Structure 1
Amino acid sequence: MEKTKPYNTRAIMFSLLMCSFIGMFSETSLNIALSNLMHVFQISAATAQWLTTVYLLVLGILMPMSGLLLQRFTTKQLFTASLISLIVGTFAAAISVNFEMLLAARVLQAFGMGLLLPLMFHTILLIYPTERRGAAMGLVGLVIMCAPTTGPTIAGILIQYLSWHYIFWLSLPFLIIGLFVGLKNLENITEVSKPRFDLASIIMSTIGFGGIVYGFSKAGEDTGGWTHPAVIASVAVGLVALVLFIVRQIRMRDPLLNMGVFKHPMYVMSVVMVVSSMLMAMSLAIILPLFLQNGKGLTTLTTGLMLLPGSLLNGILSNRMGQLFDKFGPRRLVIPGLVIAAVTLWFFTNISLASTVAFIITLHMVMMIGLAMIWVPAQTNGLNQLPPHLYAHGTAVMNTVQQVTGAIATAVSISILSSGTERYLRHSTAPSQPAEIANAMATGSEHVFWFTLIVAVVGLVVSLFIRRVVINHAVEAKPTH
Structure 2
Amino acid sequence: MSSTGSTSPAVRPGGRIPYKWSVLSNTTLGMLMATVNASILIISLPAIFNSLRLNPLAPANVSYLLWMLMGYLLVTAVLVVTLGRLGDMYGRVRVYNAGFAVFAAASVALALTPWDGRAGALWLIGWRLVQGVGGAMLMANAAAIITDAFPARQRGTALGVNQVAGLAGSFIGLVLGGVLSVWNWRAIFWVSVVVGVIGTWWAYRNLRETATSRPGVRIDWWGNLTFAVGLTVLLAGITYGIQPYGGHTEGWTNPWVIAGIIGGLALLVVFAVIETRVRQPMFDLGLFRIQAFWAGNAAALLNAIARGGLQFMLIIWLQGIWLPLHGYNFEETPLWAGIFLLPLTLGFIAAGPVSGYLSDRYGAKLFATGGLVIMALSFLGLLAIPVDFSYPVFAVLLLLNGVGSGLFSAPNTTAVMNAVPAAQRGVASGIRATFQNAGMVLSIGVFFSLLVAGLSRSLPDALHSGLTAEGVPAPVATDVASVPAVSLMFAALLGANPIASLLDTAGVLDQLPAATVATLTSRTYLPHLLSGPFHGGLVVVFTLAAVLAAVGAVVSLFRGGVYIHDEHVHDEDIRADSDCI
What is the number of equivalent residue pairs in this alignment?
475
Q: Which of 256, 259, 269 matches 1:230?
A: 256
CA distance in 1, matches of 2:374, 2:233: 35
What does the per-residue CA deviation read over 1:11-63, in whole Å, with 9 as the maximum and x for residues that have no partner?
A: 12211211221222122111222233233223423224322343233223312
What TM-score, normalized to structure 2? 0.77
- Of residues 379, 388, 405, the one that matches 1:345 is 379
State the 1:204 CA deviation: 0.7
Q: Equivalences for 1:35-50 in 2 at 5 Å?
A: 35-43=46-54, 44-50=61-67
- Picking from 267, 271, 274, the partner of 1:248 is 274
Name which of structure 1's ranges 195-204 and 149-158 shifts more when overlaid on structure 2.
Answer: 195-204
- State yes or no: 1:116 paired with 2:135: no
- The yes-or-no answer on 1:411 pairing with 2:445 is yes
Aligned pair partner of 1:30 in 32, 41, 57: 41
Q: Which of 124, 128, 132 is matched with 1:102 structurally?
A: 124
Aligned-residue offset at 1:5: 3.2
Listed one character per residue, the Cα deviations across residues 219-276 of structure 1 (whole Å, up to 9, x for unaligned) are 2345533223332121111111110001110122210121111010111110121112
* Matched residue, 1:170: 191
1:9 aligns with 2:20: yes
Q: Which amino acid aligns with 2:465?
A: A
Residues 1:35 and 1:49: Cα distance change in structure 2 (over 3 Å) = farther
Structure 1 residue 430 displacement after superposition: 3.0
Give the Cα–Cα distance (whole angstroms) in 1 for the partners of residues 228 and 347 of structure 2: 37
Structure 1 segments (4+ residues) deviating >6 Å: 1-4
Closer/same/farther in 2, CA of residues 230 and 31 from structure 1, 3 Å limit: farther
**SS where residue 227 of structure 1 aligns?**
coil
CA distance 1:306–1:9, shift in 2 (3 Å): same
d(CA) in 1 for partners of 2:309, 2:64: 23
CA apart distance, 1:426: 6.1
Q: Does 1:466 align with 2:559?
A: yes
Counterpart of 1:132 in structure 2: which amino acid? Answer: Q
Equivalent in the alignment of 2:482 = none
CA offset digits 1:276-334 (Å, max 9, x no partner): 22122213212111112223244222211111122133034211210011122123212
The residue matched to 1:471 in structure 2 has which SS?
strand
Provide the TM-score with structure 1 as the length reference: 0.93
* Runs of 5+ consecutive residues of structure 2 not aligned to the other structure: 12-18, 55-60, 325-332, 468-524, 570-581
Amino acid at match of 2:51: V
Match of 2:161 among 132, 139, 144: 139
Q: Structure 2: how far apart are the matches of 1:170 and 1:156?
A: 13
Question: Which residue number corresponds to residue 80 of structure 1?
Answer: 97
Structure 1: 5+ residue stretches without partners: 477-481
**Aligned pair partner of 1:153 in 175, 190, 201:** 175
**SS of the residue 2:211 aligns to:** coil
How far apart in 1 are the matches of 2:390 and 2:451?
21
Relative to structure 1, the CA distance from residue 84 to residue 445 in structure 2 (aligned partners, 3 Å threshold; closer, same or farther) is: same
Deviation at 1:364, TM superposition (A): 0.5
| 8 Å contact kept, 2:376–2:550 | yes
Partner of 2:501: none
Equivalent of 2:288, from 245, 262, 276? Answer: 262
Counterpart AA for 1:293: Q
Question: C-alpha separation between the residues in 1 aligned to 2:567 and 2:89?
Answer: 23
1:471 Cα deviation from its structure 2 partner: 2.9
| Distance change (3 Å), C-alpha of 1:200 and 1:301 | same
**Greater Rg over alpha carbons, structure:** 2
Cα distance, 1:40–1:222 mapped onto 2, change above 3 Å: farther
CA contact 1:29–1:152 (8 Å) conserved in 2: yes
Q: Indicate the structure whose relative CO is greater, using CA pairs within 8 Å and at least 6 residues apart.
A: 1
User: CA, structure 1 residues 267+431, in 2 after alignment: closer, same or farther (shift >3 Å)?
Assistant: farther
Q: Residues 359 and 71 of structure 1: is their aligned pair in 2 closer, same or farther, counting only changes over 3 Å?
A: same
Structure 2 CA distance, aligned partners of 1:326 and 1:177? 32
Change (3 A) 1:157 1:2: closer
8 Å CA contact 1:11–1:182 kept in 2: the answer is no
Structure 2 residue 51 is matched with structure 1 residue 59: no
Give the structure 2 partner of residue 479 of structure 1.
none
Structure 1 CA distance, aligned partners of 2:461 and 2:198? 57
The Cα of 1:157 is off from its aligned counterpart by 1.6
